[in-house]
Amino acid sequence: MPPFSRISVLGPGLLGGSLALALQARRPDADLRLWARRPGAEAEIRARGIRAAFFTDASAACAGADLVILATPVETMPALAEVIARTELAPDAVVTDVGSVKGSVVNALSPILGDRFLGSHPMAGSEKTGIATARADLFEGAACLLTPGPGQDARRLRALWESLGCRVLEMSPGEHDRKVARISHLPHWLAVVTTLAALRGDPEAVACAAGGFRDTTRVAGGDPDLWTGISLANREALLASLHEASSVLTELVEILAKPDEEALRRCLAEAKSLRDLLPAAQP
């Protein structure tokens, strides 16, 4: 399959900026374009060494592109999709995104863009946001989840993400949202709950915090607006995961109330065994 040659990235935040840096390094022959709403974003982009052509007109940024990547908050994607649908793209163009939710995105964008749209979700990022935090190696070793519809050919998109260092998995939008609720959205909210439970009643306790508290609550420092949108967009799957977490917490409370030393040890051992399944982080 021929590689994408004219690539438009809409949104120069952490993921969009990292994509631009990674593509610039891995695909120096590609015609790379970057769109932002604010004209002032160009200075920030140039400060990161990104040489892509810069646009504040989304239609102009996408004209003739054979790959368009939406790297904006999920709630802004339908309006941008309407602009893309009115733009003359390459005949074999693909439009994808990097959103954390797929069911609502696919349901909103597929009627606008048709079979051109194929969802992506690179499992990479940080609690920090913005172009200042972007880096070219963000996708190295990360899983990227693709959600092709029936009959859609994902080979070119798979090849692109693999060229950026990703391990690519394919699944339905519904399966994506259920799995990501468990391993991304639930941990975020448990970090929020831990932070509130630990510090709301005694903020001065933070002076005693060490690495464990810092590591456990790191993602609670994320952008509230971003995570409000993600949580509402994946509300049903997140609620199901939170109910499971509530059952586990109730089980722990009952074990400690007895107290039952052997049950406590079994709980910890099971958690350790499951945690050990996690691949080692990339250096």
Residues 142-172 pLDDT 10s: 999 999 999 899 999 999 999 999 999 999 9
Q: Are residues 67 and 105 located together in one domain of the fold?
A: yes
Residues 73, 10 contacting (CB under 8 angstroms): no
Going by pLDDT thresholds of 50, 70 and 90, the confidence category of residue 282 is low
Q: Are residues 97 and 56 located together in one domain of the fold?
A: yes
Q: What is the CATH number of the domain that holds 201?
A: 1.10.3660.10
pLDDT digit string (tens) for 232-249? 999 999 999 999 999 999
Mean pLDDT on 50-76: 95
Q: What is the predicted pLDDT for the residue at 178?
A: 96
Which of 171, 190, 222 finishes a domain? 171
Q: Are residues 191 and 120 located together in one domain of the fold?
A: no
pLDDT digit string (tens) for 126-137? 777 788 889 999
Q: Is residue 195 part of a domain?
A: yes
Q: Are residues 28 and 104 located together in one domain of the fold?
A: yes
Which of 171, 193, 213 finishes a domain? 171
Q: What is the predicted pLDDT for the residue at 283?
A: 53
Q: Is residue 280 part of a domain?
A: no
Q: Are residues 257 and 138 located together in one domain of the fold?
A: no
Give the three-state DSSP class for 64.
Answer: coil
Q: Are residues 13 and 109 located together in one domain of the fold?
A: yes
Mean pLDDT on 41-49: 92
Take residue 120 and report the two structure tokens written for it: 């992506």
Q: What is the predicted pLDDT for the residue at 2?
A: 76
Q: Are residues 220 and 112 located together in one domain of the fold?
A: no
Q: Are residues 166 and 229 located together in one domain of the fold?
A: no
Residue 179 neighbours by CB distance under 10 Å? 16
Going by pLDDT thresholds of 50, 70 and 90, the confidence category of residue 53 is very high
- Domain holding 188, by residue range, is 176-275
Mean pLDDT on 42-61: 94
pLDDT digit string (tens) for 172-227? 999 999 999 999 999 999 999 999 999 999 999 999 999 999 999 999 998 898 89
Q: What is the CATH number of the domain that holds 155?
A: 3.40.50.720
pLDDT digit string (tens) for 77-111? 999 999 999 999 999 999 999 999 999 999 999 99
Q: What is the mean pLDDT of the chain?
A: 93
Angstrom distances, CA of residue 4 to CA of 32, 157, 165: 10, 9, 16
Q: Is residue 282 part of a domain?
A: no
Which of 125, 150, 171 finishes a domain? 171
Q: Is residue 1 part of a domain?
A: no
Between 161 and 281, the more confident residue is 161
Quote the number of domains for the chain.
2
Going by pLDDT thresholds of 50, 70 and 90, the confidence category of residue 271 is very high
Residues 220, 194 contacting (CB under 8 angstroms): yes
Q: What is the 3-state secondary structure (H, E, C) of 175-195?
A: HHHHHHHHHHHHHHHHHHHHH
214-219, long-range: CB < 8 A, 24+ apart: 216/191, 217/191, 218/127, 218/191, 219/127, 219/187, 219/188, 219/191
Q: Are residues 152 and 213 located together in one domain of the fold?
A: no
Going by pLDDT thresholds of 50, 70 and 90, the confidence category of residue 124 is confident
Q: What is the predicted pLDDT for the residue at 19?
A: 95
Q: What is the predicted pLDDT for the residue at 95?
A: 97
Q: Are residues 142 and 180 located together in one domain of the fold?
A: no
Q: Is residue 217 part of a domain?
A: yes
Q: Are residues 41 and 150 located together in one domain of the fold?
A: yes
Tell me whether the omega of the peptide bond preceding residue 259 falls within 30 degrees of 0, making it cis: yes
In this structure, what are the phi and psi dihedrals at residue 39, rounded to the nearest 5 degrees? -60, -35
Q: Are residues 148 and 236 located together in one domain of the fold?
A: no
